[in-house]
Amino acid sequence: MTEKMGASLAAEVVSIQVGRPKKFGAAEAVADGTEKFWHSAIVKMPLAGPVAVARANLAGDRQADLKHHGGPDKAVLIYASEHFDFWSNEYPAIDWTAGCFGENLTTSGLIEADVCLGDVFRLGSCVLQVSQPRQPCWKLSRRWNLPKLAVRVQQTGLTGWYLRVVQEGFIEAGQTMSLIARLHPEWTIASANAVMFAKPRDPTRDRQLAECAALSASWRETLARRASRSATGS
């Protein structure tokens, strides 16, 4: 059942960031074998004025690893500015500001406990839908030279979340992102994180989350595979 929410749940877009893949790594460290070059678009720069939003990307935004990043289910990444104080206390040497987590939209007003899978938002002339939590990879840790950062993001549940683009259009920093429909109130981003990163894993909850139609295809496949392996004991 669709639960109409109107503008009762909303967030302000504090900043919009985009980036293109770049090569990282110190040549001298690569030469002596202590590290390898790596490519990523995790470093993103803020944009002013209207930004075009297409099905797979914001204008000017790209991904280096298309197997694990990008695509229609992960077109737009959001991170809540509310979390910056926590990370400043955890890692005070870093100036945690908009774009630090490689997000496209830095927002204020909503966190993982407030947002549900399948939530439909209107932002500018776009309509966007929540598709999955962010599952940070090693590149986030590598960017900040904090080996445990990606794991800490998972442990804390301060992950951010992805949106798919239902209606293309234009967005701008300072606009309000307002909820217009709630499809799965039983699955907040926080509860989806709790299932994905559970230790030990719960095959029943894996199966239940995998059955959420609004969840991204990649997460549904992963969870269904985990549940199946548990059922067969493999």
Stretch 121-136: mean pLDDT: 97
Give the residue among 111, 137, 120 at the shortest CA–CA distance from 189.
111
Return the pLDDT at 41: 82
User: Is the pLDDT score of 7 beyond 60?
Assistant: no
Q: How much is the pLDDT for 68?
A: 57
Q: What is the pLDDT of residue 229?
A: 85
Banded pLDDT at 6 (limits 50, 70, 90): very low
For residue 133, pLDDT beyond 80: yes
Residue of higher predicted confidence among 33 and 159: 159
* Sequence spans of domains, the chain: 10-184
Q: What is the DSSP string of 1-57?
A: --B--TTSSEEEEEEEEE---EEES-HHHHHTTS---EEE----EE--S-EEE-SS-
Average pLDDT over residues 20-45: 73
Where does 66-148 have alpha helices with state H? 84-90, 138-144
Q: Read off the pLDDT of residues 177-205 as tens digits, 9 standing for 90 and up.
A: 999 999 999 999 999 999 999 999 999 99
Lowest mean pLDDT among 23-32, 142-151, 187-196: 23-32
Give residue 64's pLDDT. Answer: 53
62-92: pLDDT as tens digits? 875 556 566 899 999 999 999 999 999 999 9
Confidence tier at 13 by pLDDT (50, 70, 90): very high
Question: What one-character DSSP code corresponds to residue 72?
Answer: G
Residue 198, token pair as written in the block: 């559970």
At 24 the pLDDT is: 76
Tokens of 115: 């947002």
Choose the weakest-confidence range: 72-76, 224-228, 230-234.
230-234
Residue 208's φ and ψ, nearest 5 degrees, are -65, -45
Cis peptide before 133 (omega within 30 of 0): no
86 near 92, Cβ under 8 Å?
no
**Nearest residue to 61 (alpha-carbon basis) of 103, 31, 93:** 103
Query: Regarding the domain delimited by 10-184, which CATH topology (the fold level of the hierarchy) does it fall under?
Result: M1 Pyruvate Kinase; Domain 3 (2.40.33)
Mean pLDDT score across all residues of the chain: 90
Lowest mean pLDDT among 2-6, 81-85, 109-113, 155-159: 2-6
Phi–psi pair at 212, nearest 5 degrees: -75, 115
Q: What average pLDDT score do residues 96-112 get? A: 97
Contact present, 196 and 135 (Cβ < 8 Å): yes
Q: In this predicted structure, what is the pLDDT of residue 4?
A: 44
Length of the chain: 234
